[in-house]
Structure 1
Amino acid sequence: MSLSVVRTHGTNGGYVRGCRCEACRKAHREYEAAHRKAKADPDSGYVAADRARAHLQFLAEHGLGVGAVNVATDIIPSIIIGIRNGKRTRLQKRTEKKILAVTPDLALDHALVDAAPTWRRINEMLAAGTPESVILAALDRTGPITRLGRSQVTVRTAALIERLHTKLSPVVPDNVRILAVPPEQRRGRACRRADFSQIEAGHPVTLSA
């Protein structure tokens, strides 16, 4: 057995080079299984970028640029730009599928707006005793809530928070000042207890997450 084979034990490459040890046979079986699975996946492989490029141009004509498509699809902007300007001539099928699924209406839901009104409503609900978990559930998100955009949020997020705020109609204590900014990111339950003790003492504070 050659040195090159010995150095590649436990890999499909080692099996291809002729090694039949248990580790290489196992690696080869796993490689073949993954290959069969990939071939069976309708979204695997690559396609020409023509349809995706045409759809991006269509969205641009409706005022939806790279940023809106990025937010709606989670495709990184450089890929979207490359497809749109023709530098990328091929793309993964699943990427094409994401782009073609974007409609002007859907993209508008993911358009970005000023986050200040949303943060003011969130802080009012927190100050009134609404658990953070309730707010996150309304957004279908997991925490912490400080992961929301500091300066901008999506239209969808703003609408969901406004709906929940209207439904709960939170009553904020008079001694609490509500700011239109994200809660301060502080660590530990002790910090959170300290913040609420300040509220009880009548000191205006910005609630922590």
Structure 2
Amino acid sequence: MLAVIGTVPDPGFPLVAGKVTLEDGNICIQGRRAAIRRGTPALLAAAVKVAEVLGREEPFGYLVGDIGRGDGSKALYQYLAQDLKQSDFHTICFHYLQPLVGWHSRIQSVIQKMTPKPILVADAGFMYVAKMSGRSSAYDLFTPDMGELAFLADELAPHPFYTRGFLLHEENRAPDLIARAYQHKNAARYLLVKGRKDYFADRDGIQAVIDHPMEEA
């Protein structure tokens, strides 16, 4: 089963954990609804539809409200540190969470003891904390856009805001940025770089380029 872990931009949204369904244009989890506009709810909605097409069971979601203050993320980290010990997820995707290095290390310690060890995916804020903690190689897949890839490629930047200017975010620099991210051990086993063209890469370079189907925004 796939588990998706993230936040909802609503400080009143409680910590919930359970299978996710779609109802009337919202995701539904443990009787709570969240609008599908952006962020982790949008990711979960896409995961539900993909599961339908592939004939798989619904994804399992861990969600909490957080508008950047970190309180919700801390509560979710605390919950995960206990709950993941009893889980048997095949794949765990970490999405928007406050990048707290200490809590990231605790969650990684729990995951390393899981048998079998799940496939680990990180996007958005969780890529930041994986790099900040020096644990990028513990992950199987990062899914950066070009700006986030430039951050991974900058061995000195502690946050995307501090990515150095010479690491331009131009798409034609993707091969160089990918190589630099692996050189400095700031990339997962695989990278899926999102953009007008998507690049699937590993430490040996770009393995595939996906440029279709294309839906105009």
TM-score range, shorter chain: under 0.3
Structure with higher helix content: 1
The structure that has the greater radius of gyration is: 1
Structure with higher strand content: 2
